[in-house]
Amino acid sequence: MNRRFFLKNLPFFSVFAFKIQNAIGGALARLIVPPQDGSAATFVTIKSADKTASQVRIWWNNMLGYISAPQFAKSLGYHTYINEDKRKIVLYLPQNQVVVTADNAFIIVDDDTFQMPAPALWHDNQIYLPLTYAIPLLNRHTTLNLNYDEKQQAIEVTENNVNIPTVTISEKENGTVIRIRTTREFSRPDITADMRYGWLHVDFYGGKVDTNLASRTKPEGLVRKIKTFQFSELASLAFYLSKEPLSREIILKPQDDEVLVVLRTKENISEEEISELREEEPAPHEASDDLKKQLEEERNKWLIDVIIIDAGHGGKDPGTTGPGKTYEKDIVLPIALKLGKIINKEMPDVKVVYTRDKDRFIPLKRRTQIANEHNGKVFISIHANANEKKRASGFETYILGPEKGEMAQEVVLKENSVINFEDASTREEYQGINRILATMAQNAFSRQSEYLASLVQQELDHQLHSINMPNRGVKQGPFWVMVGATMPNILVETGFVSNAFDRKILKTSAYQHKIAQGIFEGFKRFKRDYESAI
């Protein structure tokens, strides 16, 4: 079948294949798995060399056993990210990134797509994997060693100690590019390449190669065969070439965790040759390009390309105050500006929008209006705390919701006191906040906000760990400044101006930068995880 015709009609084939897969999957399951009573409590035991064995419940559906993907990852201590809107989950394995979509039989491992005879399913607000098919697939195409004993319902897991897990090869108009993924940084002297009897050997000193790499790598362009050799001091990747290239070049890209081997067959290509290549392409090529363009445009709509940074209070509203005329508004503004500066430098594709970039008063309602008007994708409000108990110290991150606990209530009252600086008509609008919060119980962004808050809190702890600044965790409260933001949103309390130690930290430019760096690192991780699941 013509490849482009297949891609063009992929939606039709997917539906047809899905029905066949369900039928085959059900039939195979009857042969492999004995019928189970839906009420029976059956479990799979997951054993890992460095962790205590844990049990994960099996959900039986059409005679096929499924396990929760988040629980499977959690039992092994692996990080995950779930996009509930798209019903996708990303599993961050030691050396692989795996993307699974509900009601879909395809699993993406790094940049490669593999198909199971039965799809993953959405059940109890989680993605479930078919045990019989998913575990062998992960065993073949990731660096995990998974030994699944179906009779005993046990999975034994070990990790391959490799630093060269995958290779991808692509053919270009003027040659072939070999992309070698690495999980450690190799320097140029560590890598050599030479031709031996038609084989190009790329040697990595200190390299450990996945033994299944050759069987998982598809030859393209000049490359006809692939072999791997593991020695005590080096790993050798051998590529049998159809002909010797005009030139070869090794390019190190540590920022992308990869090494490129570029094999050139032409130094350049003429416009006449390009025209001839285009004329040879069949008509369906245009439709395929249109489809790719539409998919890319749709994906771009979901990318986190605008961040709203809200420096709390300002102008006639000083916020909380501490000894020596220490005002919250004067502490949070430089932190906000430093955060924006870091994002502009590290993520030039992300637009930074400040609700205020100088000492001026911005009404609460206007802050989220600014966020929505600029089509913000994330809203981060930065504040500082105060307490009658001078010993109260540390940083915490809040999400929107009913307050829980006396301390949270006190923080909410202080931050919401800005309403006293607004006019009477505006104050009335906020009296119904509890009703507003009740309607937001199923807010699509609440789970994402909670995840963002946890990452920011983790990274702040990493930045401030050396000075023993207390980590007060993630909490929730009805902060008026966050009501109405149609995007993931959090409020960061950077420390207590009422505490002598915190106050000194908060007023120091170097530590303001550390706080901004911590918030940035949390945002960066959230952006990566969120976009991986689009």
Strands 351-354 and 306-311: parallel
Domain 303-532 CATH (choose: 3.20.20.70, 3.90.1150.10, 3.10.20.30, 3.40.630.40): 3.40.630.40
Which of 142, 138, 148 has the alpha carbon at shortest distance from 58?
148
3 state DSSP class of 507:
coil
pLDDT at 340 over 60: yes
Burial code (b: 16+ CB inside 10 Å, e: under 16) for 287-317 equals ebeeeeeeeeeeeeeeebbbbbbbbbbbeeb
CATH number of this structure's domain 166-269: 2.60.40.3500
Q: pLDDT tier at 68 (50, 70, 90 boundaries)?
A: very high
Which H or E run contains 80?
strand 79-83
Alpha helices in 281-327 (DSSP H): 284-302
Q: pLDDT tier at 280 (50, 70, 90 boundaries)?
A: very low
Class of domain 3-159 (CATH, top level):
alpha beta
pLDDT at 325 over 70: yes
Which of 259, 273, 241 has the alpha carbon at shortest distance from 173?
273
Determine the Cα–Cα distance for residues 167 and 212; give it in Å rounded to an integer: 11
At 489, list the tokens: 């949103």
> Quick check: 418 and 441 in contact, CB under 8 A?
no
Which H or E run contains 424?
helix 424-429
At 388, list the tokens: 């009658």
The pLDDT of residue 361: 92
Q: What average pLDDT does range 486-501 have in this prediction?
A: 92
Q: What average pLDDT does range 243-263 have in this prediction?
A: 87
What's the order of all strands across the beta sheet hosting 223-230?
Answer: 191-196, 199-205, 234-241, 223-230
Full-model pTM: 0.57
At 237, list the tokens: 């990747």
Alpha carbon of 173 to those of 177, 244, 284, 288: distances in Å?
A: 11, 16, 20, 19
Place of tokens 């990452």: 455
The pLDDT of residue 76: 83
In the chain, domain spans:
3-159, 166-269, 303-532
74-83, 88-97, 432-441, range with the lowest pLDDT: 432-441
> Quick check: 29 and 150 in contact, CB under 8 A?
no
Q: What region, left, alpha or beta, does residue 125 occupy, with left being phi > 0 and alpha being psi -120 to 50 degrees?
A: left
CA angle 435, 490, 488 (to 5 degrees): 80
Which of 479, 505, 488, 347 has the alpha carbon at shortest distance from 414?
479
Determine the Cα–Cα distance for residues 399 and 457; give it in Å rounded to an integer: 12
At 193, list the tokens: 């390449």
Which H or E run contains 239?
strand 234-241
pLDDT in tens, 454-476: 999 999 999 998 898 999 999 88
DSSP characters over 244-283: --SEEEEEEEGGGTEEEEEEES-S---HHHHHHHHHHS-T
